[in-house]
Structure formats: C-alpha cells, structure tokens
Structure 1
C-alpha cells in the first residue's frame, strides 16, 4: 500500500524490531473498544460492511486472480452439496445437582436422538437421584450403548483422562475450565452450560409490586438454586425504598409469615453450600429475612441492601435464597456496571418503558434475556438455552440439543457418468472456459468447490 498500512491492517510481527513485545495490543484494544460502543450492532452498519466486502471483490477481481495464480495456481470446479447430521460417537454428559432429573435427561435426549453412545455422570451431591439414575435408568436403555458413571471429583477426573468424542457439562465456570482443559488434550468439542451473576435492572418507571412478585418468585424458586435466577438487583435508592416493602409483601404472600414452615420453600442441598451461603448473610445490611438453621439447612428468603460491589456476595454466584440490591444513579451507570463484569447466563430488565428495556437488551450481552419477565422462557421447549463468554458456550433444548450432539458433515455427491459435461472445469483454461466458470460461480444454485 505505497509503503503505508491500511487503517484496518494488523502489523506483521516479523517486520517489527525485536524490542516490541506486543505488536497487536493497540489494534486489538481499538477493535474491542469499537465493539463495546455498539458500532457493529445496527443492521445498517452490517449491511454497509457487507456491501463494502462485495465492492472489494468486484473492484479487485483481477488482483485476487493474479494473487491466487501466484500463490496456488488456483482454479475451481462446480457441483452440488448437502449437510448430513451424524452422531459424534461416544459422548460424556456431566450433570449438576440443582435440577438433577431435568438437567440430566434433557441433554441425554439430544445425545440419544442424534445416535450417540453415552456415558452419563450424575451429580454425587444429589444422592437420591443419582441412585435412581444408576440403578433403574439402565434397565430401560440398551446397555451396550449406555452407561452411568458414579463418583465425586476424583472419579470425574479419572473419567476425563479418557478420550470422548463430545463432552457436555453443566456446572460452575471454575469446573468448566477444568473440563475444557481435559477436553483440549484430545481436541474434544464441548458444550459448557455454566453460571454467573445474573443482573436484574429495575427502572424507576415501573410498578414495584409487579416487579417484586416476579423477582421474588424467580429468585427463591428452588431455594434460589437456579443458574438463571436473578442474582442481584440494580436500582436507584428511590426505587429501593419502594421495592423492599413490595418484596416483603411478595415473600409473605408466597411463603407465609413463617417461611420455614412453608411446603413451597426448598432447602439448601448440602452442609457445605449452607455454610457458604450463611457467610454471605454478613454482607451489606439485612432488610428482609436473614434467619438460618444449619440442622435443617434452612435459609429464609433474604434481601440485602447497602451492598458494595467489592463484598463477597457480589463476587460469586449466590445459588441460594439471598438477593442483594446495589444502588445505581442512572441507566447508564447500571449498563456500565453490567458491562464491566463477566457476561452472565441471564439478564433481566423491568420498566414500563419499552425504550429502556430495549436499551438494556441492545447495550449488553448475555446468554438469555428477559424483559419484564423472569426465566419463564425455560418452559419453551423450542427455545435455545446457553451462555456466552464466562457463562458458557453452546446451546441445547429441543432441536438445538439434537444439533449440539450431531456432527454437521458437508457432503458432495456427483454423477460418475457426466465427465464430458465436466470437461469445462478441467485445465487448460481458455478465455471462453474462464467466462463460463465465472458465470457458474455467480449462480446461487451452484456450489463452489
């Protein structure tokens, strides 16, 4: 480029002085900052980018042809193709304890439907369900193609030393990294359904009781042990003053004056998890609840206020019936708070203003999103579930489960008796043949090889 690099060019480190340790840092920071501003999101921008790419191909066709001739002496041939979905082979499914039936069997359905052999590893923490899955489920399946593996972290580690053709894991980001590291040794593809701290923004312009009803239901459902539950609330101090009494009203209506005696409030899965959650009760100030009993692994539906971002309750996924409220002064501050943290599995926004809800949707990233609603989307069997970034990778549920456990194999079938017709694609290439090939390449019904 006349001795100058284009604005979008990344410098070749081979041409840099040896003292330069990171020749790509400035470029990558510039691109990431552009993405953060939302510049690439509007459809008009994407369309303009694609039009620019099209112009590049049209206006520089000869340059590209000459470059291909120089590099590869490259010419193409034409045919038709299709995609065939095939099973990967031997699949490992590692399931969690919080929904030990649903989160075990839903991915299993996809793996079996796709035609795989499966090793199922249920959680050792949910002991009752583990026993049923290990002793009873194999009686209903072909045991030459299905097995249940039992044990804790040590046994899971031993299992991961073996080669699998696909691994599906549901659990924490910390363990997800261990799974991915083990899979990398064999170049095994993975789906990681992880967790994270799911934000819930509550705008000043909303009905606090309607919001409280939905937030309380989805926060305390399954005693808060749900990966897509709202993990903390962001709102103004003024909204907090209105929201806390509404949350108290909702909790009392759902679970009575004594939530411990309610048949609708669950318990913490283990002593270890109970002790961890009990420690989080010391963060901020308890506005609602806060009672606990280790003998029953009971923690009351709790709301914490005056919570600081640096406190432990804001540093880890809570996975229990505790709801911190963090104050922000504006929507922009809330968006900045969300975007400074890891991308969550779910994100929720409540407002009477569609503009506000859409602004939260447009200026954030999460695995799933709920506008004026909680995780009711999980009841939609055709709806994909999955995280992004720190909250996971891959999708499943319904057809997405089948696709996850299938290798999408690109196939080409050609007729053996049409070699005369194919002579046009064989060298040597006259001007006439080149024009014919160029015309065929522009036909959308043809597949280019």
Structure 2
C-alpha cells in the first residue's frame, strides 16, 4: 500500500497543480475552515489521549496551528516569488534570482507529546511550498491520529496529502522508501534511525529532537517570579515538552528560598492535590510512566513524588541534589520531574552542562545582564530565554531547532516555507555585451582577473 501511495503522490507532483501557488493557497484556506470547525473535536481527542487540559490544548495546539495557517496564507505568495539578488561583477551584465522550488514527496513523522500541533505545523509549510505529503502521526495518541486522518481526508486528495497510521512496522516501511524530504520530530534515538534511512537515498532531513535542557538560576535572580515561570514551563503538558527545563542549576545560597517559592507556585497552579486538578495532564502510557517512576527510586523528593499507576499520574516533583550518574540525570526526563542541583561558581556549571550533548534549550534567570549574556554565549544550544522558559517557541520570526544531538535544521514562520523549498539559483546573462576576459587564451589576463575578483 505505502509504495503505491508514494508513487501516486510522485505522479501527482509531476502532473498536478501543486506547483501553482494559487492552488496551494486555496487548499490551505479549505484546511483552515475545517480546523476551525473541528477545534472542539481536537480538544476532546487530546483529552482522551492523555488528559490534556483544554486551556493547554488551545494555547499550545489549536491556536498555534491557526496562527501558522494565517501567517502562511497571508504571506505565501510573497515567499514563493522569485527573489532578485545582486549579480556578480564577473557576470556583468546579468540578472540573478533565487527560485523556491518544492522538493516533491515529503514524509512527516509527528510525535505524541504535541500530536496535533507538531503534525499540522510542518504539514502546512510543506503544502505551502508545493510538495505532496504523507503524514505519519504517533500511534500512542490514537484519538488525535484518527481525527487527523479524518480532517486530512476531508480537505485533500490522498495523492496530494494523506495520513498513514500504524506503529514501528509502518514507520520502518515508510523509511525504506525514497523520499524527496523527511521531517521528523521525536527522540534522539529514533532520530538517528531516521537519519540513517535518509542517508541511503541522500534524502535531506529536518530532525527536531531534544536533550537535557539546563535552567540556570544565579544569585541575583528574582526567586518568586523565577519559580512561577519555571512551574509553568516545566509542568505544562506534565513536563512532556522537548524544550521544558530538564534540570535546575541554582546558586547554593538561593536554594532554600527557591524550594519555598516552588511549593507556593505549584499549589497556586494545581492546588495541594495536583492529582485532582483538571489543569494537569497525565503521562502518555504505561512504558513512560514506569520509566519516569524508576527515576524517583532512592531520590530525595523535596516536593511531590506521588504516583498512580492506574491513571499514569506523576505529581509535579522536585528532586534535591541527585547524583550526576543517577537515573534521573542520565537522559532527557520528559516528565514532571525536576532535579535541583546547587552550584558555587562558573566552573561547576561548565562541568555539569558539558557532561551532556548540546541541548535543545537553555534558560538563565538573572537580573545581572552581563552575567546572563555571558552564559547565553558560553554554551551551545538550540534556543532559549533569559528570565523565562519555553516562550521563544511562539515567535515565528525566530528559528526553532536544535544543534548537534538536539537536532538538524529549523523551522517556524517563513523559515518553515524555506525548509520545504529548494533554493534554485538562476543567472540570466544579457547578450548585448560579452566580456572577453574569462575566455582562453589567458595570456596577459591574470592581473585583470585578480582585480575583478577583488570586487566580486
């Protein structure tokens, strides 16, 4: 089925209307109307999949997608228009342009943690750029995947855009095909599998991965406000966010005040019984619940620590001073568990942060602008914030992506359109003048060429 579907999409790309920008725009307008009509269904599906609060579903899923759609529909004609660039002097007289050309057949593999937004946002960009798309949603969020299938099949012909559902076997079959572009969001482990499969056909990829995101709090930080913003950024979606703070590095003199402030903010957000709060999501499945529960073993939970295997509930939890080789500090946590480690000086920060691969995000809380800027420039990471968490994701003018192990490539806004477009360079040379200096024989022309090259 999958090879036949891919062949149909490749044929549609070659013979259909996807290269016509007006056709793409009309398709995205149909998609927008359907998404607005189905918003309540999307919220309900996310609730069924892992008790995602309606507020978070609107804030981080449905409205993000609609904003991306509005931006794309408004600007895609301009983005797709050939861009004139300054020609090289050696080519005088000429006109030079960059053309945005769709790659062709695109595979998008979406994750389970934001199963609607992280499926639809790249899909919108791929369609806007003129590609055909096969979307593989996560098999862990079955209700959202089924709804995505219903929405896409209503708006698009299957040879243009379609959803393929299934588990690892389906993903393996998809990755065995020859694609023109692959966009993957998920773990580093699976990202390596995707990259290896893409390398077989030299297929270009975007890999949106993750990592252990440090959150640094220095002695000058506003502790009550810091705690408030960390509670929101860490525990939204029950910590199942690739850019959530993964661990806190706090100046030792501020640790006790920070714990008190965190207790206050957690109770403000989720009451003193978070399990009963309708504003706190659940862990996605049993495997992830058990993985996270093992991280709590033999650790000092200064706040939280409660679990419920029946409902996959893990309380917002702070672990005090875990060992650096402990289970909770080995890999990305991806849950509502936050290790707190105190430090004295900059060398402590370097020793801990540099133990891990380059993270997707890094956060600094400080009222000392010089110190904050120094930390932001000292460490390599995908993106981040000073005196907040997560919010860099919402600015479509900022690229979103990782570096090193945390990802390859970036997207958002116009960069999403560019991600799914090959930039084709074309020089149109005039015929009314033909400078002889570039042609053989070259005797006596070396000095002239050197002079010209200095001005290129």
TM-score, normalised via structure 2 length: 0.77
Distance in 2 (alpha carbons) for counterparts of 1:208 and 1:195: 27
Q: Give secondary structure in 2 for the equivalent of 1:219.
A: helix
The equivalent residue for 1:89 is 104
Q: Quick one: distance in 2 between partners of 1:77 and 1:319?
A: 54
Deviation at 1:283, TM superposition (A): 4.7
Q: Note the C-alpha offset of 1:434.
A: 4.5
Partners of 2:208 and 2:378 in 1: how far apart? 23
Residue in structure 1 matching 2:390, options 369, 375, 382: 375
Aligned to 2:226: 211
Question: Mapping of 1:98-113 within 5 angstroms?
Answer: 98-113=113-128
Is residue 425 of structure 1 aligned with residue 438 of structure 2? yes
- Are 1:184 and 2:204 counterparts? no
Residue matched to 1:313: 328
Partner of 1:43: none
Q: In structure 2, the residue corresponding to 1:123 is in which secondary structure? A: coil
CA RMSD of the aligned region, Å? 1.7
Per-residue deviation, 1:436 = 4.5
Q: Which residue is 2:91 aligned to? A: 78
| Deviations, residues 169-202 of structure 1 (Å, cap 9, x unaligned) | 0000000000001011101111100011100011
C-alpha displacement of 1:295: 1.3
The count of corresponding residues between Structure 1 and Structure 2 is: 366
**Paired position in structure 2 for 1:352:** 367
Question: Is 1:335–1:360's contact at 8 Å kept on the other side of the alignment?
Answer: no
Q: Is the 8 A contact 2:152 2:161 kept in 1?
A: no
Change (3 A) 1:86 1:283: farther
Q: Given that residues 91 and 429 in structure 2 are in contact (C-alpha distance below 8 angstroms), is that contact kept between their aligned partners in structure 1?
A: no
Q: Is the 8 A contact 1:100 1:129 kept in 2?
A: yes
Provide the residue aligned with 2:455 in structure 1.
443
Counterpart of 1:5?
Answer: none
User: C-alpha deviations, 1:190-227, integer Å up to 9, x for none?
Assistant: 11000111000111222221111111111100110100
Question: For 1:141 and 1:98, how far apart are their aligned partners in 2?
Answer: 25
Consecutive unaligned residues of structure 2, counting only runs of 5 or more, are 1-88
Separation in structure 2 between the aligned mates of residue 442 and residue 157 of structure 1, nearest angstrom: 52
For residues 25-77 of structure 1, the C-alpha deviation after alignment (integer angstroms, 9 at most, x for no partner) is xxxxxxxxxxxxxxxxxxxxxxxxxxxxxxxxxxxxxxxxxxxxxxxxxxx96
User: Hey, what does 2:71 align to over in structure 1?
Assistant: none
- Paired residues of 1:283 and 1:304 also in contact (CA < 8 A): no
Q: For 2:277 and 2:240, how far apart are their aligned partners in 1?
A: 17
Maintained 8 Å contact 1:289/1:301 = yes
Question: Which residue of the partner structure matches residue 259 of structure 2?
Answer: 244
Name the SS of the counterpart of 2:231 in structure 1. Answer: helix
Q: Is the 8 A contact 2:384 2:392 kept in 1?
A: no
State the SS of the aligned residue for 1:303: strand
Larger radius of gyration: 1
**What is the 5 A alignment of 1:301-340?**
301-340=316-355
Distance in 2, Cα, partners of 1:338 & 1:112:
39
Q: CA deviation at 1:359?
A: 1.5
Equivalent-residue separation in structure 1 for 2:199 and 2:241 (angstroms) = 28
Q: Distance in 2 between matches of 1:230 and 1:115?
A: 36
Q: In 1, are the aligned partners of 2:152 and 2:162 still within 8 Å (CA)?
A: no
Within a 5 Å distance, the mapping from 1:260-299 to structure 2 comes to 260-299=275-314
Higher helix share: 2
Runs of at least 4 residues off by over 6 Å:
none
- Cα distance in 2 for residues equivalent to 1:283 and 1:348: 28
Among 408, 412, 424, which residue is 1:409 paired with? 424
Match of 2:268 in 1: 253
Q: Give the drift of 1:425.
A: 2.9
Tell me the SS of whatever aligns to 1:213.
helix
Q: Deviations over 1:155-175 (max 9, x none)?
A: 101111100011100000000
Long gaps (5+) in structure 1: 1-75, 445-449
CA positional deviation for 1:306? 2.3
Paired residue for 2:142, among 124, 127, 133? 127
Q: Measure, in 2, the Cα distance between the counterparts of 1:362 and 1:92.
A: 35
